[in-house]
């Protein structure tokens, strides 16, 4: 049965070959009595056919359903030895003579022989192979070696590189008290004069400078304009050794420029009687809480090593960082709308949670370690950190004095686990939703235990943000969960820093009355609109209170800031901003009553 099938298949192919290559020489059958010559056969074939066809579709009577269609198609596409009748038909059902078969077979064999080398050609190739056998073997070895080296390069294609990233912030600012002549049209470069020395608050916790002659609110002397120019430069040298790790070295330098609020008003609130002044991230010592000075003000004009840290991934979705100079804000409390003073809010208060991020530790920085675990690559992440600003101090534990280091008061007992330090944890859920993932939501729950200036705090916090197309809302909240903390070996209420006074609460709110054990908290909330007028722009505003006490009816500081950032190109942005602060440093009484502060600036940021 198998033999019969093969014979049948061979017959079909042969029949197709004959029918394909030789149309009839005439409408009648050829005579068997006369034997035509090959030249006659070929001549008749050329006369009666339409010539070589290149596609079966040129033959009108050939259909894909025909039994020999596949064989016919192969002769057309592979060998090119098929012809048809002048009327465009193939007439595959007519019989063929033996002469026609011979002519058809010869035409196809000619096509096949043209595509294959002759025996002489094969012999020549074989002789060349034998003659150059050694060279071919050498070439084969070189190719194998090249393949091995290529495989090694593909597996280890990363080389140690260092990339430079830079950021330059320049700003011009002007600030003053709202009830001064600078904001009522009389004189933009003067303040009203008060007779005598600056008034001290009733509890004696807030003083000020005591210049000879006239002084304005908070003891700030009468003088020229509060306009100033601020500058900060940060250069990051990012080095990678494997492609998945990062050694970051950051240098920083500025022009030592001050803003009116942080470098003027808040700096004047501290004196010798209160060695831990209440102020923001500007010149001089940093206080326990950032009250909102311009973050990039007060940067010294000497180049410093601001950050040195190494990050690597011991396993997938887990990053571990350690270094001798890091900051808590490097690892937690991120927010898309309020996190970077060079790109969004300029106030130090709005870019971080005032209680979750310890102001002293985050201003000074220190040795520490942190991890960031994105659980299974999904929407949940877990982070933790420990940073000690006193880790580089090797003084004995019996040293119990305060010292100014880099403009900040630090307990010089020293050591990794001694004041000041911060330990924090954060759990984040971040995801997108809606069409094309244009909406997003993120919630971060936080905990911080810190000790700075002998003040120990247990704080919980939340950081929320949501984006709906171009519109976004965001906010932060911090709450001290321990109403009493240790100060100089004794217990004092959470709230302030008044060494030797009745409790910590008094300095941060010297007008407080009632129970000093009430819990302290901090909050801020804001809105933002992206791509308003200009693609890549951001209009945003926020309001918040850096430090307040439950149950206290006295004035407490309120901060407001709004800005509009628009890009000039991919590397330059311009940002006008305005800040308004009421009841500065919770001191809205006496000579300082109703002396709110307003400050405006124009910021240019260059990134490369």
Contact 269, 227 (CB under 8 A): no
Q: Are residues 180 and 290 in the same domain?
A: yes
Residues 353 and 412 both lie in one domain? yes
Looking at the structure, do residues 398 and 505 belong to the same domain, yes or no? yes
pLDDT at 493: 37
Contact between residue 359 and residue 287 where contact means Cβ atoms under 8 Å apart: yes
Confidence of residue 513 (pLDDT cuts 50, 70, 90): very low
Question: How sure is the predictor about 59, in pLDDT bands with cuts at 50, 70 and 90?
Answer: confident
Residue 581, burial from CB neighbour count under 10 angstroms (0-12, 13-18, 19+): buried
Q: How far apart are CA 397 and CA 411, in angstroms?
A: 10
Amino acid 99: pLDDT: 79
Residue 248 has pLDDT above 90, yes or no: yes
SS3 label, residue 370: strand
More confident residue, 158 or 449: 449
487 and 525 in a single domain? The answer is yes
Residues 72, 215 within the same domain: no
Give Cβ neighbours of residue 332 (< 8 Å, ≥ 6 apart): 356, 357, 383, 385, 424, 426, 444, 446
520 CB-near residues (< 8 Å, 6+ apart):
355, 479, 480, 494, 495, 505, 508, 547, 548, 549, 550
Q: How many domains does the chain have?
A: 3
- In angstroms, the CA 265 to CA 214 distance is 16
Neighbours of 500 (CB within 10 A): 9
Angle between helices 119-131 and 133-155 (to 10 degrees): 70
Residues 25-35 have pLDDT tens digits of 334 344 444 55
Domain boundary among 83, 114, 145: 114
**pLDDT reported for residue 584:** 77
Q: Are 567 and 573 in contact (CB under 8 A)?
A: yes
- The pLDDT assigned to 462 comes to 97
Q: Work out the average pLDDT over 412-428.
A: 81
What's the rounded mean pLDDT across residues 445-465?
A: 88
Count of residues making up the chain:
608
How would you classify residue 187: left for phi > 0, otherwise alpha for psi between -120 and 50, otherwise beta? Answer: beta
Q: Are residues 166 and 37 in the same domain?
A: no
Q: Which residue has the higher pLDDT, 220 or 533?
A: 533
Q: What is the pLDDT of residue 525?
A: 97
For residue 138, the enclosing domain spans 119-155
* Shared-domain flag, residues 129 and 175: no
For 423-488, give the secondary structure using H, E and C: EEEEEEEEEEECHHHCEEEEEEEEEEEEEECCEEEEEEEEEEEEEECCEEEEEEEEEECCCEEEEC
- pLDDT tens profile 555-569: 778 899 999 999 999
- My answer on whether 331 and 469 are in the same domain is yes
Rounded CA-CA distance 266/579 in Å is 15
Confidence check: pLDDT of 489 > 80? no
Asked if 586 and 547 touch (Cβ cutoff 8 Å), the reply is yes
Q: Are 517 and 509 in contact (CB under 8 A)?
A: no
Residue corresponding to tokens 């571990």 = 320
In terms of domains, do 389 and 305 share one? yes
Are 177 and 131 contained in the same domain? no
Mean pLDDT (the chain, rounded): 73
So what's the pLDDT on residue 192?
34
Place of tokens 């033999």: 3
Q: What is the pLDDT of residues 107-139, one digit of tens each?
A: 777 777 776 666 777 788 888 888 888 888 899
Q: Provide the pLDDT for residue 283.
A: 29
Residues 555 and 406 in one domain: yes
> 2-21 and 98-114 are packed helices; what angle lies between their axes, rounded to 10 degrees?
90
Closest C-alpha among 143, 144, 158, 30 to residue 97: 30
Indicate whether 167 and 290 sit together in one domain: yes
């Amino acid at each position: 049965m198998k033999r019969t099938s093969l014979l049948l298949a061979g017959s079909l192919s042969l029949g197709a070959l004959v029918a394909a290559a030789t149309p009839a020489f005439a409408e009648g059958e050829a005579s068997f009595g006369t034997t035509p010559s090959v030249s006659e056969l070929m001549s008749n074939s050329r006369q009666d056919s339409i010539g070589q066809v290149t596609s079966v579709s040129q033959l009108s009577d050939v259909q894909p359903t025909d039994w020999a269609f596949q064989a016919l198609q192969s002769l057309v596409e592979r060998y090119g030895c098929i012809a048809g009748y002048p009327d465009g038909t193939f007439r595959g059902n007519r019989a063929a003579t033996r002469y026609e078969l011979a002519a058809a077979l010869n035409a196809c064999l000619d096509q096949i022989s043209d595509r294959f080398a002759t025996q002489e050609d094969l012999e020549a190739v074989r002789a060349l192979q034998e003659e150059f056998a050694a060279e071919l073997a050498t070439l084969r070895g070189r190719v194998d070696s090249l393949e091995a080296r290529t495989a090694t390069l593909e597996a280890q294609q990363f080389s140690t590189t260092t990339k430079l990233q830079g950021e330059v912030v320049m700003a011009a600012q002007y600030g003053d008290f709202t009830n001064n002549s600078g904001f009522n049209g009389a004189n933009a470069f003067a303040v009203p004069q008060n007779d005598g020395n600056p008034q001290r608050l009733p509890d004696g916790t807030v003083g000020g400078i005591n210049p000879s002659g006239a002084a304005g609110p908070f003891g700030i002397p009468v003088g020229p304009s509060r306009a100033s120019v601020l500058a900060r430069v940060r250069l990051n040298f990012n080095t990678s050794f494997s492609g998945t790790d990062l050694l970051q070295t950051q240098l920083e330098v500025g022009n030592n420029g001050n803003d009116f609020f942080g470098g003027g008003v808040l700096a004047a609130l501290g004196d010798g009687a209160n060695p831990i002044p209440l102020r923001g991230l500007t010149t001089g010592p940093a206080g326990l809480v950032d009250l909102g000075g311009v973050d990039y003000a007060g940067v010294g004009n000497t180049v410093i090593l601001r950050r040195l840290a190494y990050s690597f991934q011991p396993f997938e979705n887990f990053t571990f960082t350690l270094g001798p100079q890091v900051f808590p804000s490097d690892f937690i409390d991120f927010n898309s709308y309020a996190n970077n003073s060079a790109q969004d809010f300029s106030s130090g208060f709005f870019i971080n949670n005032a209680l979750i991020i310890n102001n002293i530790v985050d201003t000074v920085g220190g040795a520490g370690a942190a991890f960031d675990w994105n659980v299974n690559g999904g929407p949940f992440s877990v982070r933790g950190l420990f940073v000690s600003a006193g880790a580089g101090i090797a003084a004995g534990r019996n040293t119990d004095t305060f010292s100014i280091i880099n403009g900040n008061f630090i307990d010089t007992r020293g050591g990794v686990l001694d004041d000041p330090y911060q330990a924090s944890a954060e759990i984040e859920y971040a995801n997108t939703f809606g069409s094309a993932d244009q909406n997003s939501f993120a919630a971060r729950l936080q905990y911080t235990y810190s000790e700075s200036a002998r003040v120990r705090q247990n704080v919980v916090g939340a950081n929320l943000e949501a984006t709906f197309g171009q519109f976004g809302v965001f906010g932060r909240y911090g709450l001290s969960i321990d109403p009493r903390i240790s100060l100089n070996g004794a217990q004092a209420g959470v709230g302030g820093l008044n060494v030797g006074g009745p409790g910590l609460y008094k300095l941060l709110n010297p007008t407080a009355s009632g129970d000093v054990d009430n819990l302290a908290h901090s909050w801020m909330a804001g809105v933002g609109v992206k791509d308003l007028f200009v693609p890549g722009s951001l209009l945003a505003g926020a309001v918040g209170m850096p430090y307040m006490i439950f149950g206290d009816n006295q004035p407490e500081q309120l901060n407001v800031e709004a800005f509009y950032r628009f890009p000039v190109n991919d590397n330059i942005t311009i940002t006008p901003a305005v800040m308004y602060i009421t009841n500065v440093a919770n001191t809205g009484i006496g000579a300082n009553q109703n002396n709110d502060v307003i400050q405006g600036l124009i910021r240019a940021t260059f990134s490369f």
